Structure 1
Amino acid sequence: MNKTKETLITAFALFSLFFGAGNLILPPLLGFKSGDLWWLVTLGFCLSAVLIPILGILAHAKLQGTIFDFGKKVSPTFSLVYSLIIYAISISLPSPRTASVTHEIAIQPFFDTPYLLTSIIYFGLVFLFVMNRSKLLDILGKLLTPAIIFILLMIIGITLFSEDFNFGISQFKSPFTDAILEGYQTFDAIGAVVVGGVIIVSINLKSTATYADKRSLIRRAGWLGGLALFLIYAGLILTGALRHNNFDGEITRVALLTGISIQTLGSTANLFLSLLVSLACFTTAVGVVTGTADFMKSRFRESQLAYNITAVVGCLLGVLMGQFDVAYIIAVALPALMFIYPITIVLIVLNVVPNKWASPFVFKAVILMTTIFSIPDFMNSINLGSYLGNINPMIPLSDYSLGWVLPALVTFIIANLLRKTPPQNADDPA
């Protein structure tokens, strides 16, 4: 297989593994509320939903291991606990949410059936794909992703050529930071450390290329997949902004996406939207469950039984949580994201920067500070911020739920200044 073809297939696979329920329903409503500041909202959303996840893929290209390798410079115990938390969140929230979104958009308009039936059938199919993971990369890259992109481009293109470029007034108090936090709900930073491992394993199953060749392939595919995500997100946000007069101001995420589809694709809207949702959500669920099963397999001496049991448990959790509606799952996810997302972002960045700036001491110091300053945002998300007294006003950016950013950055700089001995592989430029 030539390099161009291999890069395209891997980039398509990355796109489809990232592009799930949240990626589909979040951008249009962001645009709908953004008004003439849609471009600023796009930048904020893509910072947390595109740039950080792609940096996560680049970190995987450098490490070429599993999620466990992301935190091993802090300590093996931290890395294990972090990995277990990430996988527990992944199979309990974003994976089931894909089934819930599929039901609300793709099933309810046609059949009066319960969420439970959809979840059972949905995760039964997910299980079949997970157990045939050697074919995962080709199936995702060659068949599913082009269909997803085609349908999205139809919706975006029709809007751009049929609507006047008139925008409303932004409903956001802080468009840029609000969009960053909305990007958390895509789970894509978490997805990067999870599904990046899936890509690594899938490539290893098919290729005997050198470390350098695989690193180059993943980097090229990562940036190409990131560009595709950016263009699609920008298009969906702009689509929502241009149609601000077409819907009620209190419309939900799912209802807006459905309405836009009907206006752009006419009588065939439900059919196209059903296909889009099914493909986008399904590929994400497969990636999450496969990544979780891969990790548990690696922790139990490459035991296939551990892989199989994890796949079963992941799909059963999907059936259980998939019975709830989308709005409920998004609300439940917020506190977990406010705590674990900053730690994930910092781990990604530290694994991307040159090794000479990311010694074990730097990892420990920055992660500790990030964890401490994520607690107030977490407390605020569960309405317990009052217990912190006057601490919140003293933390820079805490009003934007980003109180961890400056402490992490300052700690990174100070820790590097205090570093007495060079880290291993300090001459590694990546």
Structure 2
Amino acid sequence: MTNEKLNFKRTIIIASLIFGMLFGAGNLIFPVHLGQMAGGHWLTASSGFLISGVLIPLMALLAICITRSNGIYDLAKPIGHWYALAFLILIHATLGPLFATPRTATVPYTIGIAPHLSAAHNTMGLLIYSALFFAITYYFAARQNKITSLIGKLLNPAFLLLLFCLFLMAFYRPLGAANATNITTPYLHNAFTNGFLQGYNTMDGLASLAFGITVITAIRAFGLKKPSHVALAAAKSSCFGLAGIALIYLGLTWLGATSLHHYSLAANGGITLAQLAHYYLGTIGDALLATLATITCMTSAMGLVIAFSQDFHRRFPRISYKTFLRFNCLLSFLVANCGLNQIIAWSTPVLMFLYPLAITLIILGITSPLFNNDPLVYRITTGLTLIPAFFDMLNAAPAPLKQLSLIQSLISFAQHYFPFFNNGFGWLSFGICGMLIGFSCHLFQQRSTANRLIERDN
């Protein structure tokens, strides 16, 4: 017998699954660092961060439900087979072995283990830690039929309990008022837009596209079969799961802002988290943070490697799910040993390229019933968005590349002719124009077709 809808308990289990897969490495360190950079403007900055870090992931899951897609490929397929395949590979490479998945090991190591080892021993320490991390990740991810109960019933409650302890101590004995702290120059007048761009670093907008298939599979395992029922259950569960993430983001950003009363601006949020945990809980706090970071990042790693392996196995069925899983875990282990700083530096330009394409695709998916999923609307919008996305990628390139004369000339051109480019939103006007042009072409085609039918009948 199949159920028509999920009961409240099962909705919470799926919500916890979504929470556990999305909340990982960047979700811990970037909100705290945002709070330190925004200082007294932490609330304005966090509102921008919540849009890109929470609202866009929610919209991504809704887009998959509305279009009844099984993942990134199906959602992007109206643009064309080759584009959909290339987009799938780029997103999974970013979320998988090149950036996000290695980061799930380097972040907990950097903030929980590295401070207690000498510089000479950190290379070997990271090697051993990341090997154990990805071995455990592979072991549980290979048993994907148990992923819902594993993440939803065991690891998430343990993580939330650990994080609650830190928040409780900070709220009971705050270091000072968050609104009375110094504001860095970029956040004096552009706190909202910079907060929005910082949300890219969580990669949750991209991850939600990849996790769609995992969420849908978990919902169907509870007996739901009709697409409309699956879509409704996914939407409800997503709202619960992402609301929890939003509350934690606000708490972490507030922590970062208050920390300025006692600590100076750090290089990243991981350092600040370690300082706060030690300040409030001493040695126990150090152990707490190491455990907290490892648990949350491992749940995220499991979601990432499972989504990667499921999607690629669907596209290339001759290669087994476990083969893709082993490849992902091994390559992620190798990249992780390049270090956190290198991973962040090289991921930023890629995110500046992919996020505009992902955001416009998500909006097109949600609004697709208005234009009957017409491929022409998808193609015109995406084609125009590709132009500023490419220039955004160049503008965010690491210094050695960005200083090349050719790249400097291209960036200068974009700064002069692309609206909002200097704020990181060069894609916005192009995307809006693309959607308007595409929708107008769709209406024109519809009207032309209707006129031809009338003439034929007459």
TM-score, normalising length: structure 1: 0.93
CA distance in 2: counterparts of 1:363 and 1:251, whole angstroms? 40
CA distance in 2: counterparts of 1:148 and 1:133, whole angstroms? 21
Matched, 1:356 2:362: no
Matched, 1:85 2:90: yes
Query: Offset of 1:297 from its aligned partner?
Result: 1.3
The correspondence for 2:177, drawn from 152, 165, 188, is 165
Amino acid at match of 2:417: M
Asked whether the 8 Å contact 2:219–2:234 carries over to 1, the reply is no
Aligned partner of 2:409 in structure 1 is 387
Aligned partner of 2:164 in structure 1 is 153
Q: Taking every aligned residue pair, what percent have the same amino acid on both sides?
A: 27
How has the CA–CA distance of structure 1 residues 243 and 105 changed in structure 2, closer, same or farther, with 3 Å as cutoff? Answer: closer
* Gap regions ≥5 residues in structure 1: 424-430
**Counterparts of residues 204-219 of structure 1 (less than 5 Å):** 204-219=220-235
Matched position secondary structure for 1:230: helix
Q: CA RMSD in A?
A: 1.9
CA distance in 1: counterparts of 2:315 and 2:424, whole angstroms? 35
Matched position secondary structure for 1:396: coil
Matched, 1:193 2:209: yes
Aligned partner of 1:406 in structure 2 is 429
**Counterparts of residues 15-414 of structure 1 (less than 5 Å):** 15-62=19-66, 63-91=68-96, 92-109=98-115, 112=121, 113-163=124-174, 164-166=176-178, 167-173=180-186, 174-301=190-317, 303=318, 305-357=319-371, 358-382=373-397, 383=402, 385-388=407-410, 389-414=412-437
CA distance in 2: counterparts of 1:101 and 1:256, whole angstroms? 13
Query: Offset of 1:205 from its aligned partner?
Result: 3.8
Larger displacement relative to structure 2 (346-355 or 79-88): 346-355
CA distance in 1: counterparts of 2:114 and 2:144, whole angstroms? 30
Query: Offset of 1:161 from its aligned partner?
Result: 2.6
CA distance in 2: counterparts of 1:393 and 1:149, whole angstroms? 47
How has the CA–CA distance of structure 1 residues 250 and 313 changed in structure 2, closer, same or farther, with 3 Å as cutoff? Answer: same
Which structure is higher in helix share?
2
CA distance in 1: counterparts of 2:226 and 2:281, whole angstroms? 46
Query: Offset of 1:208 from its aligned partner?
Result: 4.1
Asked whether the 8 Å contact 1:134–1:205 carries over to 2, the reply is no
Asked whether the 8 Å contact 2:72–2:88 carries over to 1, the reply is yes
Matched, 1:8 2:23: no
Asked whether the 8 Å contact 2:61–2:238 carries over to 1, the reply is yes
CA distance in 2: counterparts of 1:115 and 1:402, whole angstroms? 37
Asked whether the 8 Å contact 1:172–1:178 carries over to 2, the reply is no
Query: Offset of 1:257 from its aligned partner?
Result: 1.1
Larger displacement relative to structure 2 (262-271 or 398-407): 262-271
How has the CA–CA distance of structure 1 residues 196 and 140 changed in structure 2, closer, same or farther, with 3 Å as cutoff? Answer: same
CA deviations 1:14-42 (Å, max 9, x no partner) are: 01100110000111111112122111111
CA distance in 2: counterparts of 1:244 and 1:151, whole angstroms? 23
Asked whether the 8 Å contact 2:28–2:270 carries over to 1, the reply is no
Query: Offset of 1:309 from its aligned partner?
Result: 1.2
Asked whether the 8 Å contact 1:376–1:392 carries over to 2, the reply is no
CA distance in 1: counterparts of 2:221 and 2:185, whole angstroms? 47
Matched position secondary structure for 1:245: coil
Aligned partner of 2:441 in structure 1 is 418
Asked whether the 8 Å contact 2:392–2:426 carries over to 1, the reply is yes
CA distance in 2: counterparts of 1:288 and 1:115, whole angstroms? 20
Asked whether the 8 Å contact 2:182–2:260 carries over to 1, the reply is no
